[in-house]
């Protein structure tokens, strides 16, 4: 089957954070309208919507989110589908939108992601997020997601001598990037000492090792590359869209020091895009916890196993370092409204490749990667983007 090349021709983002001023509908509109305006299109041009959200029913009581997105953004009588794939819902929505355009079934597609997480107490939010794990064998036994990632961190420390300072370095770097991002939840720089002295959540992960509970939305407009310049002067081509899975429960994994689904999806993505890991100089990776970013850099092939932690402390992953990781601030600094995260990552990479990232611009950015994970690693989605000549 011949596949068409696909480009991102419009992007939009809401402010992330504790959005007491806005409900689910307002967040959708904030991001969606911005994306349509960026692509210079109207709702009449759109042929389908793919919306990512993980737990809208638990967080807000609202299900049937895809139809709500369509209604809220003024799309009439077009198909709209909700995608739930835990914290990888946004990345999965992007992949399905890409496939719809690449196959020729649709020409103009909107991909959105949204989550309104702060309207319930933290304990209820934790229960909702826990649905991304194995309820019977993990959550019912009392484990939490900080606990699952803490086990990965402990094993990584044991095998590779990774230190708590290396974990803290991820938080410091991502908060420094978020400080430069007007859409980010946090605009406070951190020090290694502040991270190390923050409250213990699940040893060795402390409060500042963990991504926050957030509200937010993100949106993209996709079109065939051959007509993309009709909508935007600087369309960004999707070079690859790949996804892989692993066991839902951590106890059945081959290793606790990496996420196999990430390495499998990345391998396929590099092959499809005809690039290598060392060609990537810009990446938004899934740093739900600081150890997750370190494992992601290794699973994506940017660093050998056990080497990523030191690279962080050496400044190699800082803005305009050897490889700029999480220029948006990542999940840790920008925020993690789970259904929106995978789409937000793509928005940031598009801005970077267009040269529109302002004071966090990566010099000479040509190729960018996004990496979105569901749960403790049972799902991983990798996209690679490039400038269109």
Catalytic residues, by residue number, are 87, 336
Q: What is d(CA 26, CA 19) in angstroms, rounded to the nearest whole number? A: 10
SS3 191: coil
> Residue holding tokens 């051959």?
226
Report yes or no: 114 and 217 within 8 Å, Cβ to Cβ: yes
Instruction: Please list, in sequence order, all residues whose beta carbon lies within 8 angstroms of the beta carbon of residue 121, skipping any fewer than 6 positions away.
Output: none
Look at strands 80-83 and 282-284 and give their pairing. unpaired
Q: What is d(CA 355, CA 293) in angstroms, rounded to the nearest whole number? A: 25
Burial label for 29, CB within 10 Å (0-12, 13-18, 19+), is buried
Instruction: Please list, in sequence order, all residues whose beta carbon lies within 8 angstroms of the beta carbon of residue 40, skipping any fewer than 6 positions away.
Output: 10, 231, 232
Q: What is d(CA 77, CA 55) in angstroms, rounded to the nearest whole number? A: 25
CA 228, 5, 222 angle in degrees (round to 5)?
Answer: 50
């Amino acid at each position: 089957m011949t596949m068409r090349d696909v480009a991102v021709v419009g992007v939009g983002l809401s402010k992330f954070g504790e959005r007491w001023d806005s409900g689910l509908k307002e967040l959708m509109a904030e991001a969606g309208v911005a994306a349509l305006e960026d692509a210079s299109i109207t709702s009449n041009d759109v042929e389908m919507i793919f919306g990512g959200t993980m737990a809208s029913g638990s967080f807000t009581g609202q299900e049937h989110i895809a139809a709500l997105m369509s209604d809220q953004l003024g799309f009439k009588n077009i198909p709209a589908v909700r995608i739930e794939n835990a914290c990888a819902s946004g990345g999965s929505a992007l992949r399905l939108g890409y496939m719809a355009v690449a196959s020729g079934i649709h020409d103009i597609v909107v991909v959105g992601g949204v989550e309104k997480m702060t309207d319930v107490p933290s304990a209820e939010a934790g229960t909702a997020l826990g649905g991304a794990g194995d309820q019977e064998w993990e959550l019912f036994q009392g484990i939490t997601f900080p606990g699952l990632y803490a086990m990965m961190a402990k094993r990584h420390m044991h095998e590779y001598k990774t230190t708590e300072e290396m974990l803290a370095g991820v938080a410091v770097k991502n908060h420094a990037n978020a400080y430069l991002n007007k859409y980010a939840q946090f605009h406070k720089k951190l020090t290694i000492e502040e991270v190390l002295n923050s409250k213990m959540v699940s040893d060795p992960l402390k409060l500042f090792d963990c991504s926050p509970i957030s509200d937010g939305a993100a949106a993209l407009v996709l079109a065939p590359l051959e007509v993309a310049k009709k909508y935007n002067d600087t369309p960004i081509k999707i070079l690859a869209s790949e996804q892989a899975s692993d066991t839902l429960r951590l106890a059945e994994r081959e290793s606790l020091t990496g996420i196999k689904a990430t390495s499998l999806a990345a391998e396929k993505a590099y092959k499809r895009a005809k690039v290598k890991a060392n060609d990537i100089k810009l990446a938004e990776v899934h740093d739900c916890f600081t150890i997750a970013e370190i494992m992601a850099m290794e699973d994506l092939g940017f660093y050998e196993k056990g080497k990523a932690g030191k690279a962080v402390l050496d400044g190699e992953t800082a803005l305009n370092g050897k490889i700029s990781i999480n220029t948006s601030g990542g999940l840790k600094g920008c925020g993690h409204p789970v259904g929106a995260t995978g789409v937000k990552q793509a928005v940031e990479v598009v801005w970077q490749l267009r040269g529109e990232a302002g004071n966090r611009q990566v010099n000479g950015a040509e190729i960018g990667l996004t990496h979105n994970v569901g749960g403790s690693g049972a799902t991983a989605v990798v996209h690679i983007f490039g400038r269109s000549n």
